[in-house]
Structure 1
Amino acid sequence: MKRTYRLAGSIMFAASLSLLSACSILPKPEMVDVYRLPAAQAPIAASQSAPVKWSLRLDKPMASGALNNQNIAVVPEGNLISNYKGARWSDTAPVLLRNRLLDAFLQDGRIQGLSTDDSNLHADYELGGELLAFQTHYNGKSPEVLIQYNARLVRSSDQRVIASKRFEARQPLSNPLVPGVVAGFGQASDTLMPQVVQWVMQQGQAQR
């Protein structure tokens, strides 16, 4: 009986050593920094015009699999698309753009009936489209942030496209490290937002 106990104890001790050895070689989880898209550094001034009588729903733009995630994308050369290691966005790129547009329309103030596709409320018009680029792009040796948004304004009553336009913003980067890249995305968004807001206001009013 004593020999049985001694044998069982040896087996348990050997198993414990095996587990400890296995734990010591497991890879450590990667530390990831999560970044928000910076808020507008030059907020859109509230319009002095009277509020419009129509409502608008903002939809997340469609995007390719390379952009429809939380990676911070970079195109280092040619057609190669990669992402910054150890960093990611707080949400997917289409959601970041939609939420930034929502902030811009709220700052403008002329559309009081604003909603997003998350709430699925009815609105007179829907703003959607495709997010074609949301990445750092290396042009030779000079990196820049590139945002390309193909906007599409749709009348909700009959789902007719009443206008579409491609918007593009480029922001050269003096700091190619991730914090500088994130700041560059904020600056590029500052350039893009007023253009989209003004275009939507003009198209929406023309239909009324």
Structure 2
Amino acid sequence: MTRAMTTAARRAPLLAALLATAACSVLPKAETPEIYRLPAASLPQAQAGAVSWSLRVDTPQAERMLDSARIAVLPAGDTVSVYKGARWSDRVPVLLRNRLLEGFRNDGRITALSSDDTSLQADYVLDADLTAFQSEYRGKDPVVVVRYDARLVRNSGLKIVAARRFEVTQAVNGTAVPQVVAAFGQAGDALAAQVVGWTLQQRADAHD
């Protein structure tokens, strides 16, 4: 091997290391998002009169935009975006299902309560489509919108006992992400209170 070839061979590892260092310096830094839970402001307290039937609350179905941990925002018209650097602590449908479960537990009248995580048999199932869970700009200020199409299903015969669309809008006290998250919590509480009351009333009115 000639001296030139030997020198080149010795320099090759150093050159490779320099190139690797240069490449790393231009790669974008990995995003470290802020993780937010769905906050609870206040849920109705326990009511008297426990019922004898059981209920399973299923995770609502949602399109891809909502079936994620991103915090969605519609800045204008039908344009869909997300809040950069922010994430929910779980997928949106799971967060909302858990908020509804919390509402039923706080109410206390349905003691035999479960979710689709365990797939336990229940007399009734609360099924739904989640078609909105985002902030929308209506003028200069954002408004949180939650739309939940509920179906109360009797497991025996899989009969739909009742169905209703719930839509909650909640003004946001500012434009910062924490303020938007707080409004989502208020909207989730309002929805839970409505769904709990409706479910119990529909079952009371049902003729088995």
User: Shorter-chain TM-score category?
Assistant: over 0.9
What are the superposed Cα offsets for residues 179-208 of structure 1, whole Å, 9 maximum, x if unpaired? 000000011112111111010001122235
In the alignment, the residues of structure 1 paired with residue 86 and residue 163 of structure 2 have an alpha-carbon distance, to the nearest angstrom, of 33
- Equivalent pairs, count: 206
Query: What's the offset of the Cα at 1:26?
Result: 1.2
Amino acid aligned to 2:47: S
Identity score, percent: 50
State the match for 1:16 in structure 2: 17
Of 65-74 and 185-194, more deviation after overlay is shown by: 185-194
Matched, 1:206 2:208: no
Query: What's the offset of the Cα at 1:18?
Result: 1.0
Matched, 1:47 2:50: no
Matched, 1:159 2:158: yes
Matched, 1:95 2:94: yes
Amino acid aligned to 2:177: V
In the alignment, the residues of structure 2 paired with residue 206 and residue 53 of structure 1 have an alpha-carbon distance, to the nearest angstrom, of 15
Q: How does 1:43-122 map to 2 (within 5 A)?
A: 43-49=43-49, 51-122=50-121
Unaligned segments of structure 1, at least 5 residues: none
> What root-mean-square deviation, in Å, do the aligned CA atoms of Structure 1 and Structure 2 show?
1.3
State the match for 2:143 in structure 1: 144
State the match for 1:6 in structure 2: 7
- SS, match of residue 149 in structure 2: strand
Query: What's the offset of the Cα at 1:5?
Result: 4.5
Query: What's the offset of the Cα at 1:12?
Result: 1.4
In the alignment, the residues of structure 1 paired with residue 194 and residue 80 of structure 2 have an alpha-carbon distance, to the nearest angstrom, of 27
In the alignment, the residues of structure 1 paired with residue 28 and residue 114 of structure 2 have an alpha-carbon distance, to the nearest angstrom, of 44
Unaligned segments of structure 2, at least 5 residues: none
State the match for 1:38 in structure 2: 39
**TM-score (normalised: structure 2):** 0.95
In the alignment, the residues of structure 2 paired with residue 164 and residue 12 of structure 1 have an alpha-carbon distance, to the nearest angstrom, of 69
State the match for 2:180 in structure 1: 181
- SS, match of residue 179 in structure 1: helix
In the alignment, the residues of structure 2 paired with residue 141 and residue 25 of structure 1 have an alpha-carbon distance, to the nearest angstrom, of 37
Query: What's the offset of the Cα at 1:144?
Result: 0.7
In the alignment, the residues of structure 1 paired with residue 189 and residue 14 of structure 2 have an alpha-carbon distance, to the nearest angstrom, of 63
| Paired residues of 2:141 and 2:175 also in contact (CA < 8 A) | no
| Paired residues of 2:130 and 2:148 also in contact (CA < 8 A) | yes
State the match for 1:197 in structure 2: 196
In the alignment, the residues of structure 2 paired with residue 173 and residue 151 of structure 1 have an alpha-carbon distance, to the nearest angstrom, of 25
Query: What's the offset of the Cα at 1:2?
Result: 8.4
What are the superposed Cα offsets for residues 37-77 of structure 1, whole Å, 9 maximum, x if unpaired? 002x222110022x111000000111111111111000111
Query: What's the offset of the Cα at 1:139?
Result: 0.9
In the alignment, the residues of structure 2 paired with residue 95 and residue 7 of structure 1 have an alpha-carbon distance, to the nearest angstrom, of 59
In the alignment, the residues of structure 1 paired with residue 15 and residue 188 of structure 2 have an alpha-carbon distance, to the nearest angstrom, of 60
